[in-house]
Amino acid sequence: MKYIKFGTYTGQENMQIDSDLLENSINMQIKEPVFRLYAWSPKCVSLGRNQAEISIKENIDVVRRITGGRALLHDDEITYSCIIPISQIPDGESVSKSYRYISGILIDFFKTLGIELDFGGGKNTDAHHKYCMLISTGADVCYMGKKIIGSAQFRKNGYILQHGSILFGYDKALLERLFNEQVSKESITTVKEILPSMTKENFVSEFETYLKSH
């Protein structure tokens, strides 16, 4: 696995880096997965590839992803991206199986922290939600039934780009103002809630160590 060093960038820069990494993998026909961890500054809302524009009344950056899914607020989180040839995933042509394969990297890492995660069961698939983390499907990663990682995919020329948000914490009031819908603690959870003593710096360091050994 090739690991890209952690960095903090604007929303536009982050989406361009992911897109460039995908294009490079395609052009160079790279066979190993390329994995990146990153953060956003300033905070930013990303919209899914085919999502309709939504009114953002706060003074927050907005960017559009090349992947699908619903809007995300990139604020108190760590984001990951993984580019991998479809041929490297067992039954990789299956979208659900490819999600599970790539998300399995995240689940295995959390096990090293003593945290058991699993996949969502589609408890809440209400298509009217604007905020991605309120929608739980079988491809999402949860802790005790609460969503903690939301992911989206894009496929091109035999390669998959999957990236997603690992919630470290969240500003409930800001989310509710942005998306004009209630954010319930029964639906989502965070690294802070599960591991109160964990800092982002330590989380990234632990994750980097894990990735470099695989």
What amino acid positions are annotated as catalytic residues?
A: 132
* Residues 121, 132: Cα–Cα separation, whole Å: 15
| CA 23 – CA 75 distance, rounded (Å) | 27
- How far apart (Å, rounded) are the C-alpha atoms in residues 162 and 69? 11
Residues 5 and 204: their CA atoms lie apart, in Å, by 10
Which of these, 47, 40, 209, 128, lies nearest to 55 by C-alpha position?
47
